Structure 1
Amino acid sequence: MKGYKFLISFFLCVISTQIMAQSNNASVSAKEALQKLVEGNLRFVQGKSIRPNQSVDRIKEVSKKQNPFATIVGCSDSRVPNEIVFDQGLGDLFILRTAGQVSTYASWGSIEFSVEVLGVNLIVVLGHTKCGAVGAACKADDVPGHIIALTNAIKPAAEKVKHMDGDFFDNAVKANVAFQVVSLRKLDPILSKSYNKGQLQIVGAVYDLETGKVNFLSEDYINSVTK
């Protein structure tokens, strides 16, 4: 009986949190969220970052609840700190980072949590130039330990652009992002359902290590490279 009551309380808590988060995020559409990221990155590139939501008051505010307006699926590379390059602060972004931004079950569950429970309407898959994980996948050499799980996940994208014009490495970085975007759009049951209904947008971008600029991939490119 106690176990039953605990489960009821748990699910009520989850539902309550979900309703609250979705209500709070109702005014932040995917379009608005994307615009905030674009504007923040522009400030960063121009050296005009305002570093919002980083005060002591903000710390206290977000200690009560989190209400991120976007989810970033990015690379672990130390040179791409998401809040800094998008000029955002505490509680603004829900972030997952792995080398080559490769996603597996734990990552998928975390992304779904951001959408289903926190009410996020925008997911950005953020790759970057000169990505070491992508570079390893472009080579035929074996890699040690569990790193092979990363390169194996990236290799299909690298193979797709192997004979394209331009720099193979740069093309592979972009293709890897595009493949990951499409994979998340098709991920059942939560992401695919929300995406197909138009409630959720999933886009791809590449951060330039030399300029600090985030370049978003066009739908035409994503469609062409993932066919």
Structure 2
Amino acid sequence: MSRPASPAQAWSALREGNDRFVRGEMAHPSQGIERRAELSSAQAPFAVIFGCSDSRVAAEIIFDQGLGDVFVVRTAGHVLDTTVIGSIEYGVDVLGASLVVVLGHDSCGAVAAATTALTTGEVPSGFVRAIVDRVIPSIVSLTGSAGGPGLASVDAATLGHEHVRHTVHMLQSYSRSLADAVEAGRCAIVGLEYTLTDGRVRLTESIGDVVEEPPVAP
């Protein structure tokens, strides 16, 4: 199978893989002995997938990809820090990936915890709080203030959508190298949202030339 070379081709390959996953007709590509041997000296993934660590959202599985196809970075709640951004830049600048995916999902515990923290003041203990603190800016932007009845009235799907959208734009604004790659047409950044019940991803945000269908509103 040839390696997708452009952002649009990379998105098409991921979308087709997800379609196979949804239908239960996975091809399980790039998983044989020959592929393993081919990759022993180098890798050239066509996409970077930055997703939530949720055990139900395993990137290679839901996109039906194999060894060497995607460079995966995961944190709880797909929250960003400098090492995460550096890892994503490595995937694009060093390994040559032409697409960066921010992969969110419904029923995200990190988004729910951030909402609880803002509306009730209850925060988790230990370093889990650091995850919640990094989700809060995404959902506060919906109401323009921390807490209050305005945020409590926003449904969970909208909060999750806003967190994905906010993360996509944070990547572009925080990383000069990613912004330059997008401007040059070498890369694009997209936000995808995964539905746990049916296994389908949908495109909800994009920066760069990948859109073959309009993004879907939440």
* TM-score (norm. length: structure 1): 0.82
Identity of aligned residues (%): 39
Measure the CA separation in 1 of the matches of 2:178 and 2:80: 14
Work out whether 1:66 is the aligned partner of 2:43.
Answer: yes
Quickly say closer, same or farther: Cα 1:164–1:139, change in 2 above 3 A: closer
Counterpart selection for 1:184 from 151, 168, 171? 171
Q: What SS class does the counterpart of residue 174 from structure 2 fall into? A: coil
Which of the two has higher C-alpha Rg?
A: 1
The gaps in structure 2 that reach 5 residues or longer are 144-149, 208-213
Q: 2:174 corresponds to which letter in structure 1?
A: L
1:173-212 deviation digits (Å, cap 9, x = unpaired): 1110100000111123211111222221000011101110
The answer for the alignment partner of 1:78 in structure 2 is 55
Contact 1:161 1:171 in 2 (8 A): no
What's 1:205 paired with? 192
* 8 Å Cα contact 2:101-2:192 kept in structure 1: yes
Matched, 1:160 2:137: no
The Cα of 1:169 is off from its aligned counterpart by 1.3
Question: Taking structure 2 as the reference length, what is the TM-score of the superposition?
Answer: 0.85
Amino acid at match of 1:110: S
Aligned match of 1:47 in 19, 24, 27? 24
Q: How do 1:89-168 residues align onto structure 2 when only pairs under 5 Å count?
A: 89-140=66-117, 141-161=122-142, 163=150, 168=155
Distance in 1 (alpha carbons) for counterparts of 2:141 and 2:33: 48
CA–CA distance in structure 1, aligned partners of residues 50 and 124 of structure 2: 24
CA distance in 2, matches of 1:105, 1:219: 22
1:165: how far off?
11
Task: Indicate the structure with greater helix content.
Answer: 1
Instruction: Tell me the residue number matched to 2:181.
Output: 194
Change in Cα spacing, 1:189 to 1:218, as seen in structure 2 (3 Å) is: closer
Equivalent position of 1:12 in the other structure: none
In structure 2, the residue corresponding to 1:152 is in which secondary structure?
A: helix
1:129-179 deviation digits (Å, cap 9, x = unpaired): 101111100112111111111111111222233548985211111110100
- Contact 2:191–2:206 (Cα < 8 Å) also in 1: no
Residues 150-159 or 30-39, more deviating: 150-159
* Superposition RMSD in Å: 2.4
